[in-house]
Amino acid sequence: MEPAFGEVNQLGGVFVNGRPLPNAIRLRIVELAQLGIRPCDISRQLRVSHGCVSKILARYNETGSILPGAIGGSKPRVTTPTVVKHIRTYKQRDPGIFAWEIRDRLLADGVCDKFNLPSVSSISRILRNKIGNLSQQGQYEKQTPHGPPQPSLPYNHIYSYPTPISAAGAKSNKTPNGLPTVNSYVTAPSIPPYHPPTPVSPYMGYSATTSAYVTGPTWQPASGSALSPHSCDIAAPLAFKGMAGPRQAIHPVSASVL
DNA sequence: TTCGTAACGGTTGAC
DNA sequence: ATGTCAACCGTTACG
């Protein structure tokens, strides 16, 4: 269960333990830094620990992305893209093939050795989840081992912001009623750019300050920064220029195919 | 005083 | 359907 309210840090800011700061704040941190504000001042102003400011800024400098890293999941240890590809081929050539036969073939064909040979149940799962109806394949093509570091934009209903860029983060995967909202942030422009200050925001400090809502011109991050080169079109994703570093800053749009 | 970072308690999600 | 576990989270405290 997600907490309805977060905890309060030493600076009076609200956070949810174990969860990333909302993108609105992450973005604000970067914006302020680009405006020349010192990290320690950003920390105080936004009531985010300096450790966190430091980390977000460092990551931004390194990857160009304000997004948190991919949380959870596990790397496929055996079901690499190559393996999946072979399994698909076997299945295409012989739709009636059994998982254990596929397993044997992977070994026989040298696709896997005995150490990385998927179990029969893994193969079954691949068949089920990644290949399924062979007529509509292809969606799983060329994924990095960990898949796209699915920017965990989700969650956020507890921090909901009225800032213009909230489009980038104000999205929850599972709505309270359990409806899986799909990629709402991609189509974010459809949401009204400005709700008046939300009364629900637990971020007291943030919403209280005058600078909080980055209203109007103020928020325009200087000259064509990486944040929003063009203020036109899709608001959200622009914040994430995709110079993929080691961490692979993936563009939210491309990351959310489905 | 500022800032980088390890330790910590926490959540997540592919397997 | 459920449990495991390695990934990431932000805060705190130390240097």
Write out pLDDT tens, residues A211-235: 333 332 333 343 334 343 333 333 3
A125/A133: higher pLDDT: A125
- Predicted confidence band at A134 (pLDDT cuts at 50, 70, 90)? low
Write out pLDDT tens, residues A76-93: 667 777 788 888 888 888
Per-residue model confidence (pLDDT) at position A51: 98
Side chain identity at residue A248, one-letter code: Q
Q: How far apart are CA A125 and CA A79, in angstroms?
A: 10
Q: How far apart are CA A29 and CA A39, in angstroms?
A: 8
Q: Among candidates A237, A247, A83, which has minimal Cα distance to A153?
A: A237
Q: Which nucleotides of C are covered by protein (CB under 7 A)?
A: 4-13
Which is it for the CA torsion A157, A161, A164, A169, positive or negative? Answer: negative
Nearest residue to B14 via alpha carbon and C1': A73
Q: CB less than 7 Å from strand B: which protein residues?
A: A 2, 17-19, 38-41, 50-51, 54-55, 57-58, 71-79, 122, 129, 147, 150, 152, 154-155, 173
The CA–C1' separation of A3 and B11, in angstroms, is 11
Question: Going along chain A, which residue ranges are E strands?
Answer: 7-8, 14-15
Structure tokens at A53: 């400011």
The CA–C1' separation of A84 and B11, in angstroms, is 29
For residues A172, A178, A182, A183, the Cα torsion angle rounded to the nearest 10 degrees is 0
Q: Does the reported pTM lie above 0.85?
A: no
Q: How far apart are CA A254 and CA A258, in angstroms?
A: 10
The CA–C1' separation of A181 and C5, in angstroms, is 28
Cα A14-A189-A234 angle, rounded to 5 deg: 100
